[in-house]
Structure 1
Amino acid sequence: MKAIGFKTSLPIGEKESFIEFETSKPTPGSKDLLVKISAVSVNPVDFKIRQSSAKDTVLETPKIIGWDAVGIVEAVGENVNLFKIGDEVYYAGDITKQGSNAEYQIVDERIAGRKPKSLSIEESAAIPLTALTAWEILFDRIRISPEKDKGKSILIIGGAGGVGSIAIQLAKKIAGLKVIATASRPETAEWCKEQGADFVVDHKNLVENVRQSGFEYVDFIVDFVDTNTYWDRMVELIKPQGHIASITGSAEPVVLNKLKSKSVSFSWELMYTRSMYETEDIQEQHNILNKVADLLDDGTLKTTLNETLIGLSASNFKKAHEQLESGKTIGKIAIKF
């Protein structure tokens, strides 16, 4: 099968930052699906792993990355019971296994969902990783409940990115929250409003801008940009007994002690936790993706796709990674094979 990968971590502008190569089609294990991939999308995790996973070394076999895909089930493992051959699926995969930038991929059925019927393959490919991340951070980590939390406020730092775009929709349309999103350019501010944000504020002078929007404190804050860069501002803005959650990690320790006087909770979210550790509730990702598919099909949610490239080629992945690395991407970029 054809695949796109790399043997060493190079700047994206280098000729061999991505290479095209042939490799054998994988064989599904007990709970696996073999998926013939139709489209993928790219995420910041893709370029971060490309930049770091083969530094100062040359791999014997090229590494295939990519963690968003849509495709058709071509074969199944002996203990698969959620899908059958011919089903259309979408998923974000497992970061510890071979990625989706190839003609075929193996994926555990418990972390795959049915492709939304109303969306094209590229529109569907834009959804899995970001929807899972946003759903988990809101409903599994912070444990927001539409019944008890409707009408409360949430600040979404990084509203126009892939995760921010779907998080705005979930927070507004499912949780019933008042949504404040950050965006610094007219086009990103407009995008956030299109996703459903009630207020859009510039991340510069964040505290002042949020308060000018009428919020002394906010009930919840989710960070999709940089934990420590915004930490003091999040500490200032969070309501006593509120909850902050982040997906971005930190090279430096996060000073949790600053939350003590307000009795504020803090959570990390990593979408790959369930698949990496095969947690007891690993199949919850299958359930979430099916719920999201239903919400897309009934029009409650909409795809966050903003650009599509055509063709399984090294040049298309280079182009997509260049855009992601610029930090100015709005919504999602998909590649249709």
Structure 2
Amino acid sequence: MTTSRAIGYRHNHPVTVSDALVTEDVDLPVIGPHDLLVQVQAVSVNPVDVKLRVSAPTDGLRILGFDAAGTVVATGEEVELFSVGDEVYYAGALDRPGTNQTLHAVDERLVGHKPRTLTMAEAAALPLTVITAWEALFDHLRLDASSRGRLLIVGATGGVGLAMTQLAHTLLPDVEIIATASTTERAGLVRSLGASQVVDHHGELAQQITSVAPGGVDWLFTAYSQDQMDVYAQIVTPFGHIVAIDDGARDVTPLKSKAIAWHWEFMFARSLHQTADMAVQHDLLETVTELVDAGRLRPIIEHDLSPISAHTLRQAHKLVESGHLAGKVVLHDW
């Protein structure tokens, strides 16, 4: 076999346009010394896929997709962590062709063994969001099992928020989780995953937090930080920490009088800059696999589509663009 079937875009069309995503045969990926060649069996769609399709330029066909689950069919000469036949899952890299293709090359240091208790589709729902949540909690906020205090998760029913709620509940026993949600049903979901308090995502945040946490919160994760600095300055304690994942410049001056630290989380930083500790993401996913197989963490899936095609991927992009999901959109089988 010399080609792989791939789905991508050549023009920045709205998702309603029939050729917003197209299917083409492309050359089989060339694998480097640390690469795995994976037969992709399931993928999921994340907001980053939508952002790229709408605005990122392309020279020819740009193949989208980050989350994937599948089976290793070939390995590079220096691969040590995997063998042909292993079932794996991962979130890929920003600067390489995406996972929306039948055969995909990925650096083994970004890959984990798939949880044995999950289907391929279920496994594909996890990597990008759980890596982001993990890095936010443990790399940036530097929380551990001895941490005590209050964590506010703004946007708790997004993919990252759902993963973070579970990780914090499972691994941080003395951290109280306060979450924001937009409906009663979604509030029930995040409570079931470990949030002890839930406030209205569309309400006046400072007032609501004051009512449930009079002393404020020690740590704040946000997926929606635009124009929120004054509010965050009110509700975060002195010497507290905020970590954000959305885009755009921010004036953090209101945080200064309390010496509140601001962090950006970007899960592609390690692979994009080829950091010396890239294998941390492999180790992270291996730990996640253990948590999943022990019944302590689970994927939250709202839509499961099949087969993987340009048509179903356009459906998935449309669902993600709606901004109304409380869980992931996954696709499986070609």
1:216 is displaced (CA, Å) by 3.2
CA RMSD of aligned residues (A): 1.2
CA distance in 1 between counterparts of 2:229 and 2:283 reads 33
Is the 1:166–1:195 Cα contact (8 Å) retained in structure 2? no
The answer to whether the aligner puts 1:180 opposite 2:178 as a matched pair is: yes
Match in the other structure for 2:306: 310
Q: Secondary structure at the match of 1:41?
A: strand
Is the 2:229–2:254 Cα contact (8 Å) retained in structure 1? no
CA distance in 2 between counterparts of 1:190 and 1:27 reads 47
* Greater shift in the superposed pair: 287-296 or 13-22: 13-22
Is the 2:229–2:252 Cα contact (8 Å) retained in structure 1? no
Is the 2:131–2:285 Cα contact (8 Å) retained in structure 1? yes
Is the 1:110–1:283 Cα contact (8 Å) retained in structure 2? yes
Q: Secondary structure at the match of 1:221?
A: strand
Equivalent position amino acid for 1:201 in 2:
V
Structure 2 unmatched ranges of 5 or more = none
Match in the other structure for 1:49: 52
Write out per-residue CA displacement over residues 286-306 of structure 1, whole angstroms, 9 at most, x where no aligned residue: 000000010000011111222
The alignment-based identity, stated in percent, is 38
Equivalent position amino acid for 1:286 in 2:
H
What is the aligned counterpart of 1:277 among 259, 262, 273?
273
CA distance in 2 between counterparts of 1:222 and 1:291 reads 22
The answer to whether the aligner puts 1:334 opposite 2:333 as a matched pair is: no
Give 1:1-337 correspondences, 5 Å limit.
1-54=4-57, 59=58, 61-147=60-146, 149-150=147-148, 152-176=149-173, 177-203=175-201, 204-224=203-223, 226-250=224-248, 253-337=249-333
Equivalent position amino acid for 2:221 in 1:
V
CA distance in 2 between counterparts of 1:160 and 1:135 reads 16
CA distance in 1 between counterparts of 2:273 and 2:221 reads 24
Write out per-residue CA displacement over residues 295-325 of structure 1, whole angstroms, 9 at most, x where no aligned residue: 0000111112222101121111111111111
Is the 2:40–2:99 Cα contact (8 Å) retained in structure 1? yes
Is the 1:70–1:89 Cα contact (8 Å) retained in structure 2? yes
1:60 is displaced (CA, Å) by 5.3
1:144 is displaced (CA, Å) by 0.8
CA distance in 1 between counterparts of 2:20 and 2:142 reads 40
Equivalent position amino acid for 1:328 in 2:
H
Write out per-residue CA displacement over residues 190-229 of structure 1, whole angstroms, 9 at most, x where no aligned residue: 22122211111112201111122233300100011x2223
1:32 is displaced (CA, Å) by 0.3
Q: Secondary structure at the match of 1:146?
A: coil
CA distance in 1 between counterparts of 2:110 and 2:179 reads 29
Is the 1:102–1:312 Cα contact (8 Å) retained in structure 2? no
Is the 1:210–1:216 Cα contact (8 Å) retained in structure 2? no
Q: TM-score, normalised by structure 1?
A: 0.95
Q: Secondary structure at the match of 1:134?
A: helix
Q: TM-score, normalised by structure 2?
A: 0.96
Q: Secondary structure at the match of 2:27?
A: coil
Is the 1:219–1:243 Cα contact (8 Å) retained in structure 2? yes
1:77 is displaced (CA, Å) by 0.5
Q: Secondary structure at the match of 1:49?
A: helix
CA distance in 2 between counterparts of 1:189 and 1:121 reads 28
Is the 2:42–2:331 Cα contact (8 Å) retained in structure 1? yes
Q: Secondary structure at the match of 2:96?
A: coil
Structure 1 unmatched ranges of 5 or more = none
